[in-house]
């Protein structure tokens, strides 16, 4: 290929050539794909375990020049990642990390949330995800936690509920910021709901009104119908596993819906983008699951939640990419690992295997496999390292089991 070289004068001057050589053709879920993923998870976890020292600077309660250090949150994220990748809870490195976490005074929403998620991860059966996808389980099993973990979860859950935005009536809107007070953002809000769901599984009481108020928040902050309606077909993970992508042809007619995403706070502040759209999908899915009591009775808000979920997935279908944080600038070059893990979380919660014909997991995994170096690192950041492993492991348990 021949290109011009830009000389800064408004003209392209000179030429240079590039020679490309095809190394491999990678098909859909090609032979050896899962083995490569499994090896990448093991190597990635080795890096995390090696660096999981409670005295590490980024785990500190306070950090210079940072408004929200979230040190405990990073420590808890590392512990959650190792447990999700099936490292034993009594591993000395993990046990030491939990002992340190229990000694800390945790106050920030993100840190409280990841601490709750980490404790719940101790009690998840490695087979539970497969049993949920196969229909053996209709919902995640209740966790039987130790007395000590129960006390921690009770205290952390109460504090997390206290961190709700005080500028609105919590009976009607539940949303969160880093330290409570007046204000919110959708990233902290979805982490809070992930944690409340985990606390609920660990038999901590969460009032139904909290879930209704949270669902109302997500529906209120979803962007309006700014994009043209498009057909959307979502393929269930069970169908994908049993029949492959060919099942899409038999999945029924596509339903037309206008794409609507989410941003960091209110729709008027900025365009929708990928990681926050996935935060909205996660929040709505968790609310829908928590409000389903198994009786088959519908709440008044259920239909709106379902429409919000489909509109959010339609936005992902319209903006699908794993090359950057989906959506328009300026967020494309920000939080890329967070975007991938957000995508995994949103799709796993609702058991979505394909978005239209997009195999979101295969595409994301291929990029991560190419990024991982010989030492098992995906990134210089331990937090990004964790997010990469959690994506590859498909660590999020499904909560919605019906067809979309």
Q: Please, what are the domains in the chain?
A: 2-393 (1.50.10)
**Confidence bin at 31 (pLDDT 50/70/90):** confident
Residue 4 · residue 15 · CB < 8 Å? yes
Q: Is the pLDDT of residue 305 over 80?
A: yes
Residue 277 · residue 266 · CB < 8 Å? no
Percent above pLDDT 70 for the chain = 88
Residue 79 · residue 118 · CB < 8 Å? yes
Residue 224 · residue 317 · CB < 8 Å? no
DSSP per-residue letters across 267-306:
GGGS---HHHHHHHHHHHHHHHHHH--SS-PPPTTHHHHH
pLDDT at res. 2: 43
More confident residue, 355 or 246: 355
- Rounded Cα distance, 259 and 79, in Å: 36
DSSP per-residue letters across 100-160:
HHHHS---SHHHHHHHHHHHHHTT--TTHHHHHHHTS-SSPPPP---HHHHHHHHHHHHHH
Percent above pLDDT 90 for the chain = 72
How many CB atoms within 10 Å of residue 191? 24
Q: Which pairing describes strands 12-17 and 255-257: parallel, antiparallel, or unpaired?
A: unpaired
pLDDT at res. 246: 74
If DSSP codes are grouped into helix, strand and coil, which group holds residue 206? coil
State which H helix or E strand residue 200 sits in: helix 186-201
Tens of pLDDT along 87-112?
999 999 999 999 999 999 999 999 99
**Confidence bin at 297 (pLDDT 50/70/90):** confident
State which H helix or E strand residue 16 sits in: strand 12-17
Q: 216: which residues sit within 8 A by CB, 6+ positions away?
A: 172, 173, 174, 301
How many CB atoms within 10 Å of residue 50? 11
- Rounded Cα distance, 15 and 2, in Å: 6
Tens of pLDDT along 121-158?
999 999 999 998 888 888 899 999 999 999 999 999 99
pLDDT at res. 376: 97
């Amino acid at each position: 290929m021949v290109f011009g070289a830009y000389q800064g004068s408004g003209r392209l001057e000179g030429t240079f050539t590039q020679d490309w050589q095809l190394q491999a053709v990678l098909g859909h879920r090609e032979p050896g794909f899962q083995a490569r993923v499994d090896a990448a998870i093991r190597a990635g976890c080795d890096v995390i375990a090696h660096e999981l020292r409670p005295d590490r600077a980024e785990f500190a309660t306070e950090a210079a020049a940072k408004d929200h250090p979230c040190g405990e949150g990073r420590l808890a994220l590392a512990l959650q990642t190792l447990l999700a990748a099936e490292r034993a809870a009594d591993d000395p490195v993990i046990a030491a990390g939990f002992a340190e976490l229990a000694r800390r005074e945790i106050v920030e929403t993100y840190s409280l949330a990841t601490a709750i998620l980490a404790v719940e991860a101790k009690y998840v059966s490695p087979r539970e995800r497969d049993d949920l996808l196969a229909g053996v389980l209709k919902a995640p099993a209740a966790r039987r936690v130790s007395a000590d973990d129960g006390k921690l979860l009770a205290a952390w859950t109460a504090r997390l509920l206290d961190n709700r935005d005080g500028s609105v009536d919590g009976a009607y809107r539940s949303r969160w910021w880093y330290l409570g007070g007046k204000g919110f953002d959708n990233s902290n809000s979805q982490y809070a709901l992930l944690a409340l769901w985990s606390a609920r599984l660990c038999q901590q009481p969460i009032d139904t009104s909290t879930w209704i108020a949270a669902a109302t928040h997500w529906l209120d902050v979803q962007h309006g119908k700014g994009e043209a309606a498009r057909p959307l077909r979502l393929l269930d993970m069970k169908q994908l596993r049993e029949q492959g992508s060919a099942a899409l042809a038999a999945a029924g007619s596509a339903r037309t819906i206008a794409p609507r995403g989410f941003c960091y706070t209110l729709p008027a502040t900025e365009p929708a983008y990928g990681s926050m759209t996935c935060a909205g999908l996660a929040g709505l899915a968790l609310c829908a699951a928590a409000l389903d009591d198994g009786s088959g009775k519908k709440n008044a808000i259920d239909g709106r939640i379902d429409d919000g979920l489909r509109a959010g997935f339609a936005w992902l279908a319209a903006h699908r990419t794993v090359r950057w944080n989906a959506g328009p600038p300026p967020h494309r070059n920000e939080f890329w690992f967070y975007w991938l893990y957000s995508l995994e979380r949103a799709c796993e919660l609702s058991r979505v295997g394909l978005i239209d014909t997009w195999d979101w997991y295969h595409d994301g995994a291929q990029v991560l496999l190419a990024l991982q170096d010989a030492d098992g690192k995906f990134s210089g950041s331990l937090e990004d390292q964790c997010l990469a492993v959690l994506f590859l492991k498909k660590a999020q348990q499904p909560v919605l089991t019906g067809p979309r």
